[in-house]
């Protein structure tokens, strides 16, 4: 209730009280005066016969009447004015006690002030829940102490009339007429007054009540106070319901935004201050974002001017119905790419603000970059063998040659065709493995035999390298697909050859570790820089170093190794040995789920005696 309304209501109460007092005085004066005149004159005439004496007595009687009626008038006026003064003081005390509070504190303060002012044992304010037919207390005060809120049904209780919008007035003996909720029945309730809380559409939203354990001392005063503050409590309850509803909607939207794998924020269009930042944004850019500008929190090195790529100037001319503005940028704080969707929306206070949803597209950008590099690498890798094939074929067609020359040229043509075929096979096999469409056949395979067959492909092409096989005696065969494991080893050896361009020793080793066979290929080449150990197995990825870019390759070999190992229920990893170079490890299980029913393979018979190594180079292979 506004201050003006409260003052008008108090003025009406005072005027009504004054009218009642005046009416009481007038009636009392007329009754007493008429009776006095008629009865006193008649009585005196019966006993006094002397006219002079009778006149004197009538004069004394008149003065006595004036004094008596004056005293009666004073008593009546003092009582009524005192009652109005107490009413005014009670009203003022409650208003002063609750004026500084809203929400839960308002309800608690109002119940406490009502209990003190009306001298009752308990007061309560409750919210009506129509779907349950119950009252849920917002504040309840018993013996001057706030109690825990509760919920109780209305059917059969004195408060049932509240649902019809009628006030409740039982100044005494209420417990004899109605059943009471348990928390009130134990108080020995004797009196109860209440008023409904109505919203703007005159619907019942709750109730306010005073409850005493004895007949009320001044029920009219209590009822007047309840009617006054029922309006204020109803307004506060309606504000609470609307606030709770708005907060619920806001929480729903926040939950949606917090679950998005994106940065979502709202910023003012004029001063750039952040009004909202979702959980992911706070995790990336810091929890301390309140009352700060978007460019201070979300960017790096920008303090006073806004970002030169900011969309606020563009969105300032947009209407709420205009489509969103989409753009991409590289964040200056975390150096990641984002695809942004900006939209002008209306904030809760009515102003226009900028809503931005920024999706991290760094991986997509990196994939696009790697695809471009892959296409360039594939084009280069394919162009090299194709150029050789076309060149030698054209030479053979246009120039006479001896049988020995033709044989040499044909060998070169075959070698380049094999190189081109391997490139295409690697790409197709990688596609099949990632699509889970490869039909591998698992059989027991001796590790040394796999190594020896793999190295036969490199004895001519890698003449500057020395290959060593180091397999211990009694190493059991590994279950696997022969073609798949051969391709895995070929790619590992090919990688070792490429990244040790100066030649040197390349070792192919194996050992058993528990239920796994560990295969490894070690080179003494230029190695892998720190931090790149996991990325080298990504598709199309190549180490970004100028001296490595000169090395031919598509970035598919190690990605294919990883997929083949995964298809064998194994894993692959890289380590950098102290002496330089790289060591690639492949762990393969000795038992597979689809290999359990086959006979257990016996230990492998090594091709060299125990404690010796098999050494391959170009001279030995001839």
Segment (H or E) for 124: strand 122-129
Tokens 């190189």 appear where? 419
Which residues have a Cβ under 8 Å from the Cβ of 580 and sit 6 or more positions away?
524, 525, 527
Is the pLDDT assigned to residue 64 strictly greater than 80?
A: no
Is the pLDDT assigned to residue 231 strictly greater than 90?
A: no
Which pLDDT score is estimated for 618?
A: 41
Which residues have a Cβ under 8 Å from the Cβ of 8 and sit 6 or more positions away?
none
The answer to whether the 256-360 and 365-433 domains have the same CATH topology is no
Is the pLDDT assigned to residue 160 strictly greater than 70?
A: yes
| Alpha carbon separation from 148 to 127, 140, 397 (Å, rounded) | 15, 7, 102
Tokens 């001044």 appear where? 218
Percent helix, percent strand, percent coil in the chain, to nearest 5: 50, 20, 30
CATH fold of the domain at 256-360: Beta-Lactamase (3.30.450)
Is the pLDDT assigned to residue 595 strictly greater than 70?
A: no
Which one has a higher pLDDT value, 15 or 475? 475
Distance CA 490, CA 496 (A): 10
Q: What percent of the chain has pLDDT above 90?
A: 14
CATH fold of the domain at 365-433: Helix Hairpins (1.10.287)
Q: For 293, which DSSP code? A: B
Tokens 């040790």 appear where? 500
Which pLDDT score is estimated for 519?
A: 95
207 CB neighbour count, 10 Å cutoff? 27
pLDDT tens track for 479-500: 999 988 998 998 899 888 888 8
pLDDT tens track for 173-219: 766 666 666 666 676 777 888 888 888 888 888 888 888 888 877 77
| Alpha carbon separation from 119 to 112, 222, 349, 569 (Å, rounded) | 11, 10, 43, 81
pTM here is 0.46
Distance CA 558, CA 545 (A): 17
Domain boundaries, the chain: 2-97, 101-240, 256-360, 365-433, 439-544+553-589
Which pLDDT score is estimated for 550?
A: 54
Q: Decide yes or no: CATH 3.30.450.40 for domain 101-240.
A: yes
| CATH number belonging to domain 439-544+553-589 | 3.30.565.10
For the segment 467-471, the average pLDDT, to the nearest whole number, is: 89
| Alpha carbon separation from 318 to 118, 159, 343, 606 (Å, rounded) | 59, 54, 9, 78
Which one has a higher pLDDT value, 178 or 272? 272
Distance CA 51, CA 120 (A): 62
Distance CA 290, CA 273 (A): 8
Which pLDDT score is estimated for 499?
A: 84
Which pLDDT score is estimated for 84?
A: 59
Longest dimension (CA), the chain: 184
Which one has a higher pLDDT value, 495 or 607? 495
Distance CA 147, CA 112 (A): 11
For the segment 305-314, the average pLDDT, to the nearest whole number, is: 82
**3-state DSSP assignment of residue 589:** strand
Within 475-530, residue ranges assigned H as helices are: 482-498
What angle in degrees, to the nearest 10, is found between the helix axes of 3-47 and 51-98?
160
């Amino acid at each position: 209730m506004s201050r003006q309304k409260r003052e008008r209501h108090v003025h009406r109460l005072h005027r009504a009280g004054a009218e009642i007092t005046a009416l009481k005085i007038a009636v009392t004066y007329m009754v007493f005066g008429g009776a006095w005149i008629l009865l006193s004159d008649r009585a005196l005439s019966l006993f006094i016969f002397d006219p002079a004496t009778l006149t004197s007595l009538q004069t004394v009687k008149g003065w006595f009447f004036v004094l008596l009626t004056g005293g009666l008038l004073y008593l009546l006026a003092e009582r009524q004015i005192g009652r109005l003064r107490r009413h005014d003081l009670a009203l003022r005390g409650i208003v002063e006690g609750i004026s500084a509070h809203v929400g839960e504190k308002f309800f608690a303060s109002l119940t406490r002030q009502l209990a003190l002012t009306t001298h009752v044992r308990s007061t309560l304010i409750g919210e009506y829940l129509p779907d349950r037919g119950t009252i849920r207390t917002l504040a309840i005060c018993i013996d001057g102490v706030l109690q825990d809120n509760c919920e109780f049904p209305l059917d059969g209780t004195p408060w049932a009339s509240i649902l019809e919008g009628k006030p409740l007035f039982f100044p005494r003996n209420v417990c004899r007429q109605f059943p009471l909720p348990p928390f009130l029945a134990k108080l020995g309730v004797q009196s109860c007054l209440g008023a409904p809380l109505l919203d703007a559409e005159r619907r019942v939203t709750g109730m306010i009540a005073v409850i005493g354990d004895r007949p009320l001392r001044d029920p009219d005063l209590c009822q007047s106070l309840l009617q006054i503050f029922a309006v204020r409590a109803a307004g506060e309850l309606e504000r609470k319901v609307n606030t709770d509803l708005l907060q619920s909607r806001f929480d729903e939207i926040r939950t949606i935004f917090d679950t998005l794998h994106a940065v979502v924020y709202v910023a003012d269009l004029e001063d750039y201050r952040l009004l909202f930042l979702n959980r992911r944004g706070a995790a990336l850019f810091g929890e301390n974002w309140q009352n700060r500008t978007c460019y201070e929190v979300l960017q790096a090195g920008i303090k006073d001017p806004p970002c030169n790529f900011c969309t606020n100037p563009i969105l300032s001319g947009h209407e709420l119905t205009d489509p969103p503005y989409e753009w991409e940028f590289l964040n200056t704080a975390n150096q990641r790419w984002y695809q942004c969707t900006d939209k002008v929306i209306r904030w809760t206070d009515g102003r226009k603000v900028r809503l931005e949803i920024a999706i991290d597209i760094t991986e997509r950008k990196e994939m696009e970059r790697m695809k471009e590099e892959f296409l360039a690498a594939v084009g280069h890798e394919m162009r090299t063998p194709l150029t050789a094939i076309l060149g030698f074929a054209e030479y053979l067609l246009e120039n006479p040659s001896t049988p020995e020359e033709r044989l040499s040229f044909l060998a070169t043509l075959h070698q380049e065709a094999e190189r081109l075929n391997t490139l295409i096979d690697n790409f197709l096999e990688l596609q099949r493995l990632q699509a889970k469409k490869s039909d591998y056949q698992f059989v027991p395979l001796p590790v040394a035999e796999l190594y020896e067959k793999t190295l036969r492909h490199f004895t001519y092409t890698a003449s500057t390298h020395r290959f060593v096989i180091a397999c211990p005696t009694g190493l059991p065969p590994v279950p696997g697909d022969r073609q798949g494991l051969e391709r895995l080893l070929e790619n590992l050896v090919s990688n070792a050859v490429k990244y040790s361009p100066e030649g040197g020793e390349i070792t192919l080793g194996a050992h058993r570790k528990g239920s796994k066979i560990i295969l490894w290929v070690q080179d003494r080449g230029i190695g892998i820089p720190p931090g790149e150990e996991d990325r080298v197995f990504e598709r199309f990825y190549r180490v970004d170093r100028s001296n490595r870019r000169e090395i031919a390759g598509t970035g598919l070999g190690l990605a294919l190794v990883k997929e083949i190992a995964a298809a064998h229920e194994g894993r692959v990893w890289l380590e950098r040995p102290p002496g330089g170079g790289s060591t690639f490890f492949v762990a393969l299980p000795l038992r597979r789920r689809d290999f359990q029913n086959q006979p257990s393979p016996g230990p492998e018979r090594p091709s060299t005696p125990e404690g010796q190594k098999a050494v391959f180079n170009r001279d030995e292979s001839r």
